[in-house]
Amino acid sequence: MGRILVIGDMHGALNALQQILKRAKVTQDDTLLFLGDYVDGWSHSAELVSFLIQLNTSHNCIFIKGNHDDLCYTWLTKKTYNPDWIEHGGQATIDSYAKLSQEDINIHLDFYKNLINYHVDTHNRLFLHAGFTSIHGPHREYFDESFYWDRTLWETALAIDPTLKKNNPKYPKRLLLFDEIYIGHTPVTRINQTTPVQANCIWNIDTGAAFKGALTIMDINTKEFWQSDPVYQLYPDENGRN
């Protein structure tokens, strides 16, 4: 029986992804669950997506959509973008896609179109990029953008009073729906952490690979994790999203 391994936000850091796959000794028996944000930051955005497409032919992979993936898909399909995207890693993505043929880009478009908003496994564990706002759960979410843009779920988990009982009417209903929730999107480096952080039932796996942190892969059953070198050291001539 293989492991279920969850991977945080990569932001074009193919070198870091290849490093953690080796350090975790990933095999074809393992399930790889990617939490999104494959692009925007380091110089290998297009190359990383090509790598994932190939990886999916030999391994069982689940690909969640991140907000940066949605921004990139909008640019690829509509040739328009929000200027803020350029300042947050988009230019590195544009530059990396300039190296691809239209045939390869078309294959990538299929990859982006098939990204899923969230995944729930048979053990009542939820995986998504950012969060959801409905107290009834992600299946009742009105706006798909919440799945890859919302930060209130993580902020709620961090802010909740640890003495508050689950049967208290004030207890956040969203935190009662799943046994565990795995997210990325908001780097734990913002709270001065460098490894995966658990807050209530939520595990945040974004360890700041887009900035000065490492990329992380974690076994969700044992909670053992492996990290790359700080990603900026793997791309010494680049700024990433710093």
pLDDT of residue 91: 96
What's the number of CA atoms in the CB half-sphere (13 Å) around residue 27? 4
pLDDT of residue 82: 87
Can you tell me the distance from the alpha carbon of 36 to that of 41, in angstroms, rounded to the nearest whole number? Answer: 13
Residue 213 contacts residue 16 (beta carbons within 8 Å): no
Question: Cβ-count burial of 99 within 10 angstroms (0-12 exposed, 13-18 middle, 19+ buried)?
Answer: exposed
pLDDT at residue number 205: 98
Give the span between the Cα atoms of 213 and 53, in whole angstroms: 25
* Weakly modelled stretches of the chain, pLDDT under 50: none
| DSSP classification of residue 30 | S
160/50 Cα distance (integer angstroms): 40
The encoded tokens of residue 29 equal: 């028996």
Residues 179-211 as b or e (16 or more Cβ within 10 Å = b): ebbbbbbbbbbeeeebebbebbbbbbbbbbbbb
Joined tokens for residue 198: 């658990």
DSSP tag of 33: E
The answer to whether residues 170 and 112 touch, using CB atoms and an 8 Å cutoff, is no
Contacts of 165 (CB under 8 A, 6+ apart): 171
Percentage with pLDDT > 70 across the chain: 100
Return the residue matching tokens 């896609």: 97
At 1 the pLDDT is 76
pTM beyond 0.95: the answer is yes
137 φ/ψ angles, rounded to the nearest 5 degrees? 120, 170
Looking at residue 154, what is its pLDDT? 98
> Pairing relation of β-strands 31-34 and 60-63?
parallel
pLDDT tens track for 141-165: 999 999 999 999 999 999 999 999 9
DSSP 109: H
pLDDT of amino acid 102: 96
The CB density around residue 92, as the number of other CB atoms within 10 Å, is: 24
- Domain 4-234, what fold? Purple Acid Phosphatase; chain A, domain 2 (3.60.21)
Phi, psi at 182, each rounded to 5°: -115, 125
